[in-house]
Amino acid sequence: MIAAAPVQTHEPSSTTSEVTSEPVTHGQSKRGYVAKSKTSRSARTAPAGSVLGFALTWSLMISGLAGLQLFLKGEALSGRTLAVALMFLAGSFLGAIFARCFAGLICRWRKTPSARFASLFIGLSVGTAGLTAFIHYLHFSAYYAQWHGEFGSLHRLVEIIMTGASSAYIFTVQGMQLLLPWGLALLFAAAWDYARSSRTT
């Protein structure tokens, strides 16, 4: 009798498992790229949100202080007091944005707490007072524009200069009284908080 030849069975190769593992790796790298891009976008938008939040907080404190000072002086709630509060609201909001940008620029070279304190203190005081005074000048100039001379004339230029000087004097005498002395304490507190923080803008 002839013995039957043994039947050989072939086991499946492991090549298939090695090939199927490649798309998983590609998907993981794609998900990692998306997560990294989201993180970088959030890192870029975080400073802008911090600046706007600081500006909103500062403007509400300054305009609230001005309104409180008017109330303590016996001023009744009217269109004039509302206009004054809105003027300080807009000027302090723009001044706070200027101050944070100025402080962030200075802190690129000097990152010590003293430099951070001084940069925000100077930027916030100059920006708040200067931009609020500029808004007051625009309102003052718009009111007296109907009596100004012809546009482009020397007489009109002299009137603009005199209007600006009068506006600066009135704001210094009357407007700054609404911020002192408590506005100075708020200024010190804001600069101190910025000096002890780790914010870069």
Residues ≥6 apart with Cβ < 8 Å to 90:
59, 131, 132, 135
Q: Residue 67's closest CA among 50, 49, 85, 52?
A: 85
Q: Which two tokens stand for residue 163?
A: 């209007």
Print pLDDT tens along the chain (201 aa): 344 444 444 444 444 444 344 444 444 444 544 444 444 444 343 477 788 999 999 999 999 999 898 888 887 778 888 888 899 999 999 999 999 999 989 888 888 889 999 999 999 999 999 999 999 888 877 777 666 656 666 777 787 788 888 888 888 888 888 888 899 999 999 999 998 886 555
Which of 7-13's residues contact partners 24+ apart within 8 Å by CB, and which partners?
none
Predicted pLDDT of residue 74: 81
Q: Residue 140's closest CA among 156, 158, 163?
A: 163
Predicted pLDDT of residue 199: 58
Please give, one letter per residue, the 3-state secondary structure of 47-115. HHHHHHHHHHHHHHHHHHHHHHHHHHCCCCCCHHHHHHHHHHHHHHHHHHHHHHHHHHHHCCCCCCHHH
Q: Categorise residue 62: left if φ over 0, alpha if ψ from -120 to 50, beta otherwise.
A: alpha
Q: Which two tokens stand for residue 184?
A: 């100075």
Please compute Rg for the chain using Cα positions. 32
Distance between CA 172 and CA 81 in Å, rounded?
Answer: 17
